[in-house]
Amino acid sequence: MKLITENIENVEYLTEETKDGKKNYTIKGVFMQADIKNRNGRVYPKDILIKEVKRYNDDFINNRRAFGELGHPEGPVVNLERVSHMINKLYQDGNNFIGEAKILDTPYGKIVKNLIDEGAKLGVSSRGMGTLVNKNGANHVKDDFYLATAADIVADPSAPNAFVEGVMEGKEWVWNNGKLAEHEIDTFKSRIESAKRVQRAEVGARAFRDFLKKF
């Protein structure tokens, strides 16, 4: 599976001052969109997003562990040292999936607060994993899509609506003992492809076992 990120710029950053003079910072807006070909040439079928958003709510938001990072992380796993906000809402509104997140008082959260205070224009980027299939000139996300986080906080002033930051899209990831591992897959692919057709199942299984031994 490949890492897939999609950026949305049209979100609101809201501040609310409390009675003791402190400020609460919140993000609100469209975090993901379904059944629309975005500028990356990708389409997320609505039924796939509905299913995955429900899982994300059940597993992460409802358990108060739906975190996001500042910047473009290099993999699908959330790094707690870089967490800047906690997502507390994600719900469907037509083809849009609306999210809300609270900026935390972490080191990276403080950077976000300072950027907001200075008037910086920020966006959000969903981060997930999955495979793609090309249909009618667009890459459709398949039903193995896994949403890692609904929103990382990013900055890209040139982005109008949705765009890609394909930093890690050339890498592939697999599940290994419940964890995601970056996969140097070329060697294993070449072993399988060079085998005779009748041998491919056996060679493929052996290559996969060899890969797992690396972790």
Residues labelled catalytic: 72, 125
DSSP assigned state of 137:
T
Q: Which residue has the tokens 């897939």?
A: 4
Helix (H, G, I), strand (E, B) or coil at 47: helix
Residues 6+ apart with CB under 8 A from 179: 77
Task: Give 147's strand partners.
Answer: 128
Cα 5 vs. chain centroid, distance in angstroms? Answer: 5
